[in-house]
Amino acid sequence: MPVKFTHHASRVTNTMSKASIFAILLSLLTACSPGTKVTRAPESYVVVLSMDGFRWDYPDRYYTPNLDKMARTGVKAASLQPSYPTKTFPNHYSIATGLYPDHHGIVQNSFYDPKLDRVFRMGVRSAVEDSIFWEGEAIWETAEMQGVKTASYFWVGSESNETYRPGFRKFYEDGFSYVQQIDTVMHWLSLPITQRPRLVMFYFNEPDGVGHNSGPESQETKKVVEELDQLVGMISARLKGVEKKEKIRINFIIVSDHGMGFIPEGNQVFLDEVIDLKRVRRINGGNPVFILEPDSGYLEEAYRLLSTTRHIRVWEKGKLPDHYHYGTHQRIPALIVEADSAWGVEIRRRAKGEGIKIEYTRGTHGYDPVNKDMHGIFYATGPVFKQGFIQPTFENVAIYGLLARILGINPTKTDGNFMTINGVLKGY
């Protein structure tokens, strides 16, 4: 049975006078004053937090009492399977749209669009804010089109100049205070009911950074993960405070965009040692997955060289394994190169006056979504969720449909299957 959210007004019977209907509607529109008997419509609220690069098994390795409590009082997924490539921009937008990157157009953190003759890079504001790059329909668009207010604090894709965009939004800043973000989220949820967003999505950029620098299994990563868990405790407590004060119930979901894989030192392939990059027109992406367009006369040779090199694999566009769901979008060029699990692929850069600088990072992501190292997390608590329920691993493209269901809005067609995840809701 689907969870139903009955709006108070729909229960008003014909026998009531116009004046009393008007009084009820007015009291729903304005905050209830003390002594008012009318209870507010049981509207659903959803807060979604993404913690970048939070690998599925960090709570098993490190001390995370607050996430563990969410699992006990709500839902925890065995793991959350990302979409390909398992990078930040493609995946946050897959969560928002329910589409694979091949279908929403953010095919990498950086890419070239041959029709527009423009390059997209996550650090270039003029690209990130241009709706031309963001295809598909994000959950905030679906919601806003149907009159449901939304807010985003740094969610990838929400900065674009679409017609239907979050009514409240903050543009990305590196190193911004998480506590300040939490303050703003609580403020949004405490606004008068006529202004208050029903969907709030926000984003923390760790533990991705520390996972890259120190690897998933390190004292540094442990420290950051445990600090983030403390923040989860703070958010849960403050949401409870808002629920009490505003007399509302809030659903709280935590996800991550992907996990983090460890690369032992020395496990690196340098692309510039394999192919002649001067004969490659375009190359985008980053360790461990690059998308490239060799000069037309060099395509076959480049493919041969790459395919005979150990510890990397190469595919021609359209020939990737089916479960990658990747290879039809016009922004994907002729070749896709990916390192083997636990291996890195880099382009050596010549640092000015320093000779060859070999980059080595202890952790990365971008590999096959089935590779368990790439899996993220999904936790959820609140009135619509079961308690103590373990959800089997599912694909992140299903989350859009879940959010639409909780908000009571009509979803658009997506790649996700709500049925893979409906068991998390009470009544299913």
What beta strand segments (E) does 171-248 contain? 199-204
Minimum gap (Å) between residue 71 Cβ and ligand AMP: 26
Q: Which is nearer to ligand AMP, 81 or 88 (CB)?
A: 88
Which residue stretch of 178-186, 202-210, 213-221, 387-395 sits at the interface with ligand AMP (rule: CB under 6 A)?
202-210
251's CB contacts (< 8 A; 6+ apart) are: 44, 45, 46, 47, 380, 381, 382, 383, 384, 385, 406
The listed partner (ligand AMP, Zn ion, none) that binds 205, CB under 5 to 8 Å by sort, is ligand AMP
DSSP string, 237-286: HHHHHHHHHHT--EEEEEE-S---EE--TT-EEEHHHHS-GGGEEEEEEE
Q: Which of ligand AMP, Zn ion, none does residue 174 bind (CB under 5 to 8 Å by kind)?
A: ligand AMP
CA distance 357 to 143: 48
Q: Which of 344, 405, 376 is nearest to 92 (CA)?
A: 376
φ, ψ of residue 77 in degrees (nearest 5): -90, 145
Residue 232 CA to residue 47 CA, distance in Å, equals: 12
Find tokens 């899996």 and name the residue.
Answer: 375
Specify the DSSP class assigned to residue 57.
Answer: T
Q: Is 214 in the site for ligand AMP (CB under 6 A)?
A: no
**Closer to ligand AMP by Cβ: residue 5 or 172:** 172
Should residue 202 be labelled a site residue for ligand AMP when binding is judged by CB under 6 A? no
Return the structure tokens found at 362: 């202890």
Residue nearer to ligand AMP on the CB measure, 214 or 381: 214
Closest to ligand AMP by CB, 182 or 302: 182
- Of the candidate spans 65-73, 158-166, 201-209, 387-395, the one that interacts with Zn ion by CB under 5 A turns out to be 201-209
Which residue type is seen at 100? Y
- Residues numbered 106 to 125 that lie near ligand AMP (CB under 6 A) are 109, 122-123
The span of 145-153, 180-188, 204-212, 276-284 binding ligand AMP (CB under 6 A) equals 204-212
When asked if residue 345 is in the footprint of ligand AMP (CB under 6 A), the reply is no
Nearer to ligand AMP, 88 or 268 (CB): 88
**Residues 28 to 57: which contact ligand AMP by CB under 6 A?**
52
For the CB of residue 365, give the shortest distance to ligand AMP in the complex, in Å.
Answer: 7
Among 44, 66, 88, 391, binds Zn ion (CB under 5 A): 88
- If one asks whether residue 130 binds ligand AMP (CB under 6 A), the answer comes out as no
Neighbours of 145 (CB within 10 A): 14
> CA 401, CA 407: separation in Å to the nearest integer?
10
* Residue 258 CB-half CA count within 13 A: 30
By the rule CB under 5 A, 373 interacts with Zn ion: no
Token code pair at residue 55: 């690998």
How distant is the alpha carbon of residue 414 from its chain centre? 15
- Binds ligand AMP (CB under 6 A): choice among 209, 233, 383, 423: 209
Q: What tokens appear for 235 in the block?
A: 């958010």
Residue 204 near which of ligand AMP, Zn ion, none (CB within 5-8 Å, type-dependent): none
Q: Which stretch binds ligand AMP (CB under 6 A): 19-27, 94-102, 201-209, 401-409?
A: 201-209
Q: Which of Zn ion, ligand AMP, none lies near 102, with the C-beta cut-off 5 to 8 A by kind?
A: none
Residue 208 engages Zn ion in binding (rule: CB under 5 A): yes
Q: How far apart are CA 241 and CA 386, in angstroms?
A: 21
Q: Where do contacts with Zn ion occur on this chain (CB under 5 A)? A: 52-53, 88, 208, 257
